[in-house]
Structure 1
């Protein structure tokens, strides 16, 4: 059943045809990591409501795999960020006054172009998040898994967030830079900053770190999506789409 869930994970990722070969390799890595961790349990010890440690370990991994797949599928597409009321990226906080000032003097179209391409960069970058989670799955112990099953709410997401945030940001940085450049976001953003700094009324020159801003916002959005999926699996029986998820999260 776990293997079937991992195949579903690959199906979600296949939204990007150009990444098909990468995603195939990822699926094998995730399956290997999950099976290896589960096989370390003899299955003789019970954890809660008659579940073995192996059940708990496999169940929490399957839930996280489902959450990762759903999160990336929602964000790694056109308008995943730009068309979202929740995740749309505006200008960095330190650059808001740039946008307001330029709009006031009739340069709002430049601001709009910069915002659009910043969001396109984030949409493109989140497709490269999955391998980071493979590493976190490999590090999860059976004790971790049992505690996360019992934890409730978003305990599994919080666990992965603590394990992967720094790695995600490090991995995202070059991807974000490439995305910002390829979508012309860097150029559009530089245009509005330069135009603002040229104004005679500008006393404090501004040039916020766009790369760090987009990276942080993309990582936060991905974890928020994974948390929503975990909450659904824990609270809604209909979201437990496999026998293993029903067994593990319906046993509490």
Structure 2
């Protein structure tokens, strides 16, 4: 219960960018002076809020085909005990469940880093991003953030893997070659970061396709003119 309350408070505490009244504009050029950067930040904020609302649940990553953390490639060629374990669907699902639950736990640390990056990043060519493809803004955000999400999640992924482990993680790590606990921790962190960007991109594409769905007058006006 405390964990759920923490997540809810975090989501409610996210500072949405202030709404503003738009002038009467009929073309995208008319709106350019009003602030393409502002529209992009709002688009990324709403997209991120929606993505994290889904991912910050116990099964958020596992139940999302785009965000799900897969088994690391190193385990595919493992021999001996690890190979026998991983051939069992029940064990595969158990390990996948632990990894994806760890990703959900660690995503709490990623969310504020994403919002801070959106607020503070420099957008050099906002016009191109506004006019860009379905995930143009998310792709820019990913490039701008570099390894920030991975770095934010890495410690919490390790803690979660240890807390959630019922023995299977340590057994596989001990038996497999080419992967350590730290390697598994890194894999989950990097795969989860990629999943977060894919989830944000999906929301961005959905909003671009239906700007009114964002419930934001700036987004609706700016991106509505592009349709």
Larger Rg computed on CA atoms: 1
Distance 2:130 2:93 in 1: 44
2:129 to 148, 167, 179: 148
SS of the residue corresponding to residue 51 of structure 1 reads: helix
Distance 2:62 2:123 in 1: 39
Q: How many residues align?
A: 214
Structure 1 residue 176 corresponds to structure 2 residue 148:
no
Q: What is the TM-score with the length of structure 1 in the denominator?
A: 0.72
Which segments of 5 or more consecutive residues in structure 1 lack a partner in the other structure?
Answer: 1-14, 198-204
Match of 2:103 in 1: 122
Match of 1:207 in 2: 179
* Higher normalized contact order (CA 8 Å, seq sep 6+, divided by chain length): 2
Match of 1:250 in 2: 224
SS of the residue corresponding to residue 131 of structure 2 reads: helix
The verdict on how the C-alpha distance between 1:131 and 1:56 changes in structure 2, with shifts beyond 3 A counting, is same
Structure 1 residue 77 corresponds to structure 2 residue 57:
yes
Distance 2:133 2:70 in 1: 33
Shift of 1:48: 3.6
CA RMSD of aligned residues (A): 3.0
Distance 2:169 2:112 in 1: 30
Shift of 1:100: 4.2
Match of 2:207 in 1: 233
Shift of 1:22: 4.4
Structure 1 residue 101 corresponds to structure 2 residue 84:
yes
Distance 1:52 1:62 in 2: 15
Range with bigger deviation, 223-232 or 137-146: 137-146
1:68 to 48, 60, 65: 48
Shift of 1:238: 4.5
Which segments of 5 or more consecutive residues in structure 2 lack a partner in the other structure?
Answer: none
Distance 1:24 1:237 in 2: 22
Q: What is the TM-score with the length of structure 2 in the denominator?
A: 0.79
The verdict on how the C-alpha distance between 1:247 and 1:116 changes in structure 2, with shifts beyond 3 A counting, is same
CA-to-aligned-CA distance 1:187-239 (integer Å, 9 cap, x gap): 42111233x36xxxxxxx34341011001110011100111111122222443
